[in-house]
Amino acid sequence: MTVVGPFGLSVWDEALDADVQAGLSAVEEGLLEATKSDVPFITDAARHLLKAGGKRFRPLLVMLGAQFGDPHAPRVVPAAVVVELTHLATLYHDDIMDEAEVRRGVPSANARWGNSVAVLTGDFLFSRASHILADLGPEAVRVQAESFERLVTGQIMETVGPREGRDPIDHYLEVLAGKTSSLMAVSGRFGAMMSGAEESVVSTLTQYGERIGTAFQLADDLLDITSESAESGKTPGTDLREGIPTLPILHVRRWYQQAGGSVSAADRRLNQLLDGDLTDDALHGEALALLRAHPALEQARRDTLRYADEARAALAPLPECTAKLALAALCDIVVHRAA
C-alpha cells in the first residue's frame, strides 16, 4: 500500500502512485513557471501563497481523472495548473473581502502588502491561467468560463445574503456550489477530458467533483470549529470570529428558531453570542466551546457525510480500477479530516 499526495491517499498500485506523484510534481513546476514575472516583486507576491503550501486537491482530482484515458497526454498537467492557479487567485480576492490576516499559516497578501497589491496579484494569476488555458482549446475555455461565472455568482450571493423568504441553509449550500464545487467539478472534468476519456466518463467525473467539492468545504467548516490546532490553515474559530455563517452556525440558528421558548440556557447564550461581536477573545472562546458541544455540529457532520456518500455513488458507472478506488477513498479522507 502506498501513499499519494498530502491527503494520505492510500492506493493499491505502485504504477498509479508513480503516475500521480509525477503528475503533481510536474504541476508544481508548472505553477512556479506560471507565477514567474520579469518584475521580481510580482513574482514574490504571486508565489506568496504558493510557497505557503496547500492541499493541491484540485490537481489531484485532475491526475486521478486522467487515469481513465491517457494520463500522460500533453494537456493534462497544464489543465491541472490552470485549476490551481484559478483557485489561488480566488484566495487573494477572498482574503480581501474577508479582511483575513492569515492564510495557510502565513500573513495574507492583503495583510502584508495591502488590498491593492493583493487584488492585482489575484488578477495576475487569473491572467496567467487564461494564457495557459488558451492553448487547451476552445472547449476548455468555455468550460472554465462557465465555472468562473458560477464561482463569481457564488461569491456575490454570499456577499448579499439570502433573499427574503429563502432558507439560509439552502442559500449557503448554493453559495458553496458556486464558490467551491464548480472548480472541483472542472478538475474532474479536465482530467478526463484532457486524457481523451469517453464522454460518459467526463460526465461522471464532473458530477463526482461537484459533490466532493461541497463535502470538502463543509468539512473545512467543521474543522474551523473542531480543530485545536490550525489544521484548516487558519486559526480555529476564524469563521466564527469574523461572523461568517457557516453550516454549523446556520443549524444552531435553525435549532433555536424551531425550539421556540423551550431552549436551554446554553442555547440561549450561544445565540446571544452569535448575534454579537466575537472579536473579543473571551467571548469568542465561550462561543466556540458552546458551539462544539451543540447538537447542530453533529447535524452539520451528517450533511457533510451525505455529500461524500453522493460523490462515492456518482462513481458507480466507472470501470473498476485502482483510480476508482482512489477517488472513492478520497470521499472518506475528505470528511474524516473533520471527524
pLDDT score recorded for residue 325 = 93
Query: Exposure pattern of 256-291 as b/e (b: 16+ CB <10 Å)?
Result: beeeeeebeeebeebbebbeeebeeeeebeebbebb
Q: Nearest to residue 257, comparing CAs of 269, 273, 268?
A: 268
Amino acid identity at 117: V
Q: Is residue 287 part of a domain?
A: no
Return the ∠ at Cα 16 (arms to 320 and 10), rounded to 5°.
85
Q: Is residue 334 part of a domain?
A: no
Q: Is residue 253 part of a domain?
A: no
Overall number of domains in the chain: 1
Q: Is residue 239 part of a domain?
A: no
pLDDT score recorded for residue 66 = 97
Give the cell for residue 232: 484548516
Q: Is residue 247 part of a domain?
A: no
Q: Is residue 203 part of a domain?
A: no
CA dist., res. 332 & res. 339, Å (int)? 10
Query: Is residue 270 classed as helix, strand or coil in its secondary structure?
Result: helix
CA dist., res. 220 & res. 158, Å (int)? 17
Range of the domain at 125: 14-196
pLDDT score recorded for residue 229 = 57
pLDDT along the chain (339 residues), means of 10: 46 80 95 95 90 88 96 97 95 78 76 85 94 96 96 92 92 95 97 97 98 95 80 68 89 84 83 89 91 92 96 97 94 80
Torsion of CA 214, 216, 222, 228, to 10 degrees: -170
Residue 167: which CATH number? 1.10.600.10
Q: Is residue 176 part of a domain?
A: yes
